[in-house]
Amino acid sequence: MNIVNILEEIEKVDGEIYERLNPRRAAMKSFFNIGKKISLAAMPLALGSMFQKAYGQTTPTAVIEVLNFALALEYLEFHYYNHALLAAPNLVFPNAASKAAITTIRDHEAAHVNLLKGALGASARAEITYAMTDFTVNGAFPVYDDYATFLAVAQGFEDTGVRAYKGQAGNLMVSPGVLQTALQIHSVEARHAAHIRQMRTTQAAGAATYKPWVSLGASGQANDSGVAALDAVYAGEDLTLQANINIVGINGKTGIDKKAAVECFDEALDKASVVAIANLFLKTGNKLS
């Protein structure tokens, strides 16, 4: 990580970055002094707090709201996988590769939590702990007793995450640097979703196939997960009109049927819909608003 590059990047969108930093030279000085002592892994936190100091109250409220919303979702995802790995004795991973994949995903979600917390600094929302969650939704989903159910809900989480970040991108346009970071998280979530879908196909052992991309359901419905309880996650994913351009058979390309048109564009989900999904997994008293 090259701090000079980062400052240059910021300068492009905020020509006054150095002036902002300058009157608070103490903040910079202490940052660089700390820098000598901290490990690279701790850098995002340190960077986040430096920018917090430099920008003070100027980070737009809308951006803070988006980041806190993202942080809540990342907490949920992190706990979902972390509990599966550490404290779910009845959940049997079929092989080392499946456990390794879930570990990779868990680690990314933990990194996202830390990054967002660091960027938000004192504005970060309260921590969501595992105790505040109920991933079984009152026992409806035996996620920690049944591997297939665990993967199905994981797919729901990842595909929801992809849609949630997409839905918030417009609110981050005022802060291009933050927007880019959010986009970099967004595509990682899409990679996770693709892999979980492949894991489900492997687990189904020929009984069902889940494409790495969001396709049409077997009966032509928007939800291609095979789990009706996840309908809300896929509501509107069957859109085939993009910017008023019909993708089906576009420019005489007859091979692009409805299924292909649905697959080639992922759809965003608005905050209220994402909150409704997330709240299924949060206990009363801890729900998002």
Minimum CB distance to other proteins, residue 244 (Å): 9
Nearer to other proteins, 35 or 142 (CB): 35
Nearer to other proteins, 13 or 137 (CB): 13
Nearer to other proteins, 142 or 239 (CB): 239
End-to-end CA, the chain:
36
Q: From residue 243, how far is each of 235, 239, 246, 247, 273 by CA, in Å?
A: 19, 11, 8, 10, 22
Nearest to 59 by CA among 27, 31, 20: 20
Structure tokens at 284: 């009363």
Nearest to 118 by CA among 193, 173, 180, 43: 43
Minimum CB distance to other proteins, residue 177 (Å): 7
At 267, which amino acid appears?
E
Minimum CB distance to other proteins, residue 287 (Å): 26
Residue entry with tokens 């390309």? 253
Nearer to other proteins, 221 or 242 (CB): 242
Nearer to other proteins, 72 or 185 (CB): 185
- Are 234 and 197 within 8 A, CB to CB? no
At 17, which amino acid appears?
I
Structure tokens at 4: 């000079």
Minimum CB distance to other proteins, residue 134 (Å): 25
Minimum CB distance to other proteins, residue 62 (Å): 13
DSSP tag of 224: -
Minimum CB distance to other proteins, residue 124 (Å): 16
CA distance 25 to 29: 6
User: For binding to other proteins (CB under 8 A), which residues are involved?
Assistant: 1, 13, 40-41, 43-44, 97, 100-101, 104-105, 107-112, 114-115, 162, 165-166, 169-170, 173, 176-177, 179-181, 183-195, 198, 211-213, 242-243, 245, 247, 250-257, 260-261, 263-268
Nearer to other proteins, 141 or 263 (CB): 263
Q: Where are the alpha helices (DSSP H) in the chain?
A: 3-13, 17-21, 25-37, 43-55, 61-86, 96-120, 147-168, 176-204, 231-234, 258-263, 271-279
Nearest to 216 by CA among 188, 196, 236: 236
How many CB atoms sit inside 10 A of residue 201's CB? Answer: 17
Minimum CB distance to other proteins, residue 52 (Å): 16
Minimum CB distance to other proteins, residue 140 (Å): 28
Nearer to other proteins, 24 or 268 (CB): 268
Cα dihedral 205, 136, 166, 271 sign:
positive
- Are 68 and 124 within 8 A, CB to CB? yes
Nearer to other proteins, 55 or 213 (CB): 213
